[in-house]
Amino acid sequence: MTSPSTPQDPQRTLLRHTLATLAYRGGKALRDAPESFATFKASAHTRTPGQILAHISDLLEWSLTQFSGKEAWHDSPPLDWHAGSERFFTTLAKVDNYLGSDAPLSSSAERVFQGAIADAFTHVGQISLLRGLAGCPVKAENYHKADIAIGRVGADQSPPRREF
């Protein structure tokens, strides 16, 4: 990890805040979904929420391989909702830990953001949309007011400040 006297690269700091934001928004989309939601099918041509969740974790693992210079992609099968959620947060923590360390970035922050990380946000939005279609909607929130902190990338997130 970076020592307190070592200034953190602003790009890494922004990426870490981005991951904390993804954890907050993702946590909201995943929390309190019924176990059956993992296999909800909106149409014959859409992925299930469980498949989307597995893909999000695959994206995050891919970003870590890009940062570490050992780029590799893996398609993982969906897990049950609880295990898939745990994988999401565990993978976020691994990427955050890498970015919080002094390890070099083998791929630029911009490239990884525009690919894997931005795609992960898109898919969290899909899960939120599917929650509504499945009859278990996620409450809207003013995310500008949310208590999001660098390094807080686990399932334990601050409660919403302003939902509607």
Q: Which domain holds residue 137?
A: 10-33+48-145
Assess contact for 11 and 109: CB atoms under 8 A.
yes
Residue 81 lies in a domain: yes
Residue 42 lies in a domain: no
Residue 157 lies in a domain: no
- Identify the pLDDT of residue 3: 44
- Identify the pLDDT of residue 8: 80
The one-letter amino acid code at 88 reads F
pTM (two decimals) = 0.94
CA-based nearest residue to 92, from 149, 18, 10: 18
Residue 108 lies in a domain: yes
Look at the chain and report how many structural domains it folds into: 1
**Per-block average pLDDT, block size 10, for the chain (164 residues)?**
60 97 98 96 97 98 98 98 98 98 96 98 98 97 97 97 91
CA-based nearest residue to 24, from 151, 112, 126: 151
Residue 60 lies in a domain: yes
CA-based nearest residue to 95, from 109, 82, 81: 109
Residue 130 lies in a domain: yes
Residue 107 lies in a domain: yes
Angle at 115 between CA 120 and CA 134, to 5 degrees: 25
Residue 125 lies in a domain: yes
Tell me the Cα Rg of the chain: 16
